[in-house]
Amino acid sequence: MNVAQMLERSAFYFPDRPALAFKDRRWTYRELDRDASALASGLKGLGLKPGERIGLHVPNWPEFVLTYYAAQKIGVVPLSLNVTYKADEIAYICRDGEVAAVVTADPVAGNLPSRGDLPSVRHLINVGAPREGAVSFAALTGDPALRALDLDREEMAAILYTSATTGRPKGVMLTHSNVVSNVYATSHHLRMTPEDRGLCALPLFHCFGQNFIMNALVNSGGTLVLQERFVPEEFLGAIGRERITLLYAVPTMYILILAGDTSAHDFRSLRLCFSAAAMLPADVERRWHERYGHWIHQGYGLTECSPFASYNHDTLFRPGAVGTPIENVEMKVVDEHGRELPDGELGEILIKGPNVMKGYFRNPEATGQTVRDGWLHSGDIGYRDKDGYYYIADRVKDMINVSGFKVFPREVEEILFRHPAVKEAAVLGMPDPVKGEAVKAFVVLKEGQSVDADALKALCRQKIASYKVPEAVEFIPALPKSPTGKILKKDLRGPR
Residue 148 predicted with pLDDT over 90: yes
* Phi and psi based region of residue 255 (left: phi greater than 0; alpha: psi -120 to 50; beta: remaining): alpha
Residue 279 predicted with pLDDT over 90: no
The phi and psi torsions of 84 (rounded to 5 degrees) equal -90, -10
Predicted local confidence at residue 68, as pLDDT: 98
Predicted local confidence at residue 403, as pLDDT: 80
How much is the average pLDDT of 461-465? 90
Give 399-493's CATH code, choosing from 3.40.630.30, 3.30.300.30, 3.10.20.30, 1.10.1040.10: 3.30.300.30
Mapped to the 3 state alphabet, what secondary structure does the chain carry?
CCHHHHHHHHHHHCCCCEEEEECCEEEEHHHHHHHHHHHHHHHHHCCCCCCCEEEEECCCCHHHHHHHHHHHHCCCEEEECCCCCCHHHHHHHHHHCCEEEEEEEHHHHCCCCCHHHCCCCCEEEEECCCCCCCEEHHHCCCCCCCCCCCCCCCCEEEEEECCCCCCCCCEEEEEHHHHHHHHHHHHHHCCCCCCCEEEECCCCCCHHHHHHHHHHHHHHCCEEEECCCCCHHHHHHHHHHCCCCEEEECHHHHHHHHHCCCCCCCCCCCCEEEECCCCCCHHHHHHHHHHHCCCEEEEEECHHHCCEEEECCCCCCCCCCCEEECCCCEEEEECCCCCECCCCCCEEEEEECCCCCCEECCCHHHHHHHEECCEEEEEEEEEECCCCCEEEEEEHHHCEEECCEEECHHHHHHHHHCCCCEEEEEEEEEEECCCEEEEEEEEEECCCCCCCHHHHHHHHHHHCCHHHCCCEEEECCCCCECCCCCECHHHHHCCC
Predicted local confidence at residue 166, as pLDDT: 52
- What predicted TM-score, i.e. pTM, was given to this entire model? 0.88
Which of 161-175, 285-299, 405-419 shows the lowest mean pLDDT across its residues? 161-175
Alpha carbon 462 to its chain's center:
35
Residue 165 predicted with pLDDT over 60: no
Predicted local confidence at residue 444, as pLDDT: 96
Tell me whether the omega of the peptide bond preceding residue 107 falls within 30 degrees of 0, making it cis. no
Predicted local confidence at residue 167, as pLDDT: 64
Q: What is the per-residue pLDDT across 428-442, written as a single tens digit (0 to 9) for each?
A: 999 988 788 999 999
Predicted local confidence at residue 187, as pLDDT: 97
Task: Report the 10 Å Cβ neighbour count for 205.
Answer: 25
pLDDT category, 489, cuts 50, 70, 90?
Answer: confident
How much is the average pLDDT of 381-397? 92
Q: What is the per-residue pLDDT across 5-44, written as a single tens digit (0 to 9) for each?
A: 999 999 999 999 999 999 999 999 999 999 999 999 999 9
Domain locations along the chain: 3-188, 399-493
Residue 496 predicted with pLDDT over 60: no
Domain 3-188 indexed as CATH 3.40.50.980: yes
Instruction: Label the pairing between strands 436-445 and 422-432.
Output: antiparallel
**Orientation angle between helical segments 29-45 and 3-13, nearest 10 degrees:** 140
Residues in contact with 263: Cβ distance below 8 Å, sequence separation at least 6, in sequence order: none
Q: What is the per-residue pLDDT across 192-224, written as a single tens digit (0 to 9) for each?
A: 999 999 999 999 999 999 999 999 999 999 999
How much is the average pLDDT of 63-85? 97
Predicted local confidence at residue 388, as pLDDT: 98
Instruction: Label the pairing between strands 18-22 and 25-28.
Output: antiparallel
Residue 45 predicted with pLDDT over 80: yes
Predicted local confidence at residue 164, as pLDDT: 54
Predicted local confidence at residue 359, as pLDDT: 98
Average pLDDT score over the chain? 94
Residue 454 predicted with pLDDT over 80: yes
pLDDT category, 131, cuts 50, 70, 90?
Answer: confident
Residue 494 predicted with pLDDT over 90: no
Instruction: List Cα–Cα distances, 428 to 118, 235, 456, 491, in angstroms.
Output: 37, 32, 16, 11
Answer whether 312's CB lies under 8 Å from 318's CB.
Answer: yes
Q: What is the per-residue pLDDT across 469-479, written as a single tens digit (0 to 9) for each?
A: 999 999 999 99
Residue 73 predicted with pLDDT over 70: yes
Q: What is the per-residue pLDDT across 287-319, written as a single tens digit (0 to 9) for each?
A: 999 999 999 999 999 999 999 999 999 999 999
Predicted local confidence at residue 12, as pLDDT: 98
Residue with the larger pLDDT of the pair 251 and 328: 328
How much is the average pLDDT of 94-110? 96
